[in-house]
Amino acid sequence: MLNLSELIGFASQRLVHALLNDNKILACGNGGSANNAQLLAASLVNRYERDRPSLPAIALGTGMTMLTAIANDMQYDDVFAKPLRALGHSGDILVVYTIGGHSANTLKAVNSAHDKDIAVIALTGENGGSIAPLLRENDLELRVPSNSAAHVLETHLMITHCLCDLIDYQIFGG
């Protein structure tokens, strides 16, 4: 079994492979996890620690109008899955952030990603929740084995920074 630092390195390689093959990174999460998803997308599109060309990334569920329209007209469970189905393509990667792994909207996003041949990198906590058994062979789970939501969230933030740094290094050099 790989340790967390090895999994972070492997996840960065998968993300880099997708980006170098003209695919994009889609990210989602609820609450504080939504902040981490937005940080990942912003750091890829804008910059992490240095100026460089933009990389294609989208944080799902960030537009208030779209979020409330989907939640009102369909159901809240679709706030990530519906835009993923519209914007995602085979070869893209969904990065899903979840502390407990039980939110219906993140579970539906994982299933929708699989329907579109989109690999999933799941940053989870506790025991992986209901997301862990949904993951397929080509997916990757970076689990923080803690029951403290604050600890999981801060570790996911650190992992996000590591991923951004590794992506920049692998694509643009040191």
Q: Into how many domains does the chain fold?
A: 1
Q: What is the pTM of this model?
A: 0.96
73 contact partners, CB below 8 Å, separation of at least 6: none
pLDDT(113) > 80: yes
The enclosing domain of 167 has a CATH number of 3.40.50.10490
Tokens of 147: 């029951």
What are the strands of the beta sheet with 119-125, ordered from one edge?
Answer: 57-59, 25-28, 93-97, 119-125, 140-144
What per-residue confidence (pLDDT) applies to 157? Answer: 98
Chain segment 53-74, per-residue pLDDT in tens: 999 999 999 988 988 899 888 8
CB 61 within 8 A of CB 83: yes
What is the span of the domain harbouring residue 15? 4-172
